[in-house]
Amino acid sequence: MGESIHDDHDDAKTASDSAITSGDAGHAGVLKVYQTGELTVVGFGGVDVPDEVCIAGYRDQLNQLVEQHKCKVLAFDLTGVRLVPSGMLGVLTTLRRKVDRLEIYNASENIREVLQLTKLDQLFDLKDVDVKA
C-alpha cells in the first residue's frame, strides 16, 4: 500500500465524550478514526489498548461509524500495539459480520499468535502496511 492510511477527514464527527476521536488527539488508549468511507481505518495511535476500556462503548460507536459511512472494509491499525483485550477481539468478530472485509494492519507477533490460536486469523485479513509517523 503506497499511500498512508492516516488521512484525516472532517466528516468523522464524534461526541465530545466519545472514546473515539478523529485524527491525532493524543489521548492514550483512545480509538482514533484515520479515514472514513467505504474503507474506514481506525487505530489506537500506536499505544496499547488498556484493559479497562469500555468495550460496550467502543462496540456501539464502531457500529455507528460503519453504518454512518457505509463502510465495506473496516481496518484496524495496530501499529505499536502489543496486546488487545479479549473483549475487543469479540467486538472485532461482531464487526466482521457487518462489513465485507475486516483488515488488521501491522499486528504484533503476540497479536498474530493469539489470532492464530483462536482461529480468528481466518476471519480477518492481516496486512503489514506503511503508516506515516
pLDDT confidence of residue 20: 54
Looking at residue 53, its pLDDT comes to 63
- Structure-block grid coordinates of residue 34: 484515520
In CATH terms, 20-127 corresponds, of 3.30.750.24, 3.40.50.20, 3.20.20.70, 3.40.640.10, to: 3.30.750.24
Whether residue 35 contacts residue 41, with contact meaning beta carbons closer than 8 Å, is answered with yes
What are the structural domain ranges in the chain?
20-127
CB atoms within 10 A of CB 81: 20
Quote the pLDDT of residue 132.
64
Per-residue pLDDT, 130? 86
Look at residue 50 in the predicted model and tell me its pLDDT.
64
Residue 64, H or E segment: helix 55-68
Strands 73-77 and 101-105: parallel
Rg from Cα positions in the chain: 13
Compute mean pLDDT per 10 residues along the chain, 133 residues long, and list them: 41 41 49 89 81 76 91 94 88 94 96 96 95 62
Angle CA 18–66–23, to nearest 5: 50
What pLDDT does 25 receive?
40
Q: Is the pTM of this model over 0.85?
A: no
Q: What is the pLDDT of residue 35?
A: 87
Handedness of CA 59, 65, 67, 68 (dihedral sign): positive
Amino acid 45: pLDDT: 82
pLDDT of residue 77: 94
State residue 103's pLDDT score. 97
Those residues whose C-beta lies under 8 Å from the C-beta of residue 78, and which sit 6 or more positions away, are 43, 44, 84, 104, 105, 106, 107, 108, 111
pLDDT at 27: 43
For residue 122, the model assigns a pLDDT of 96
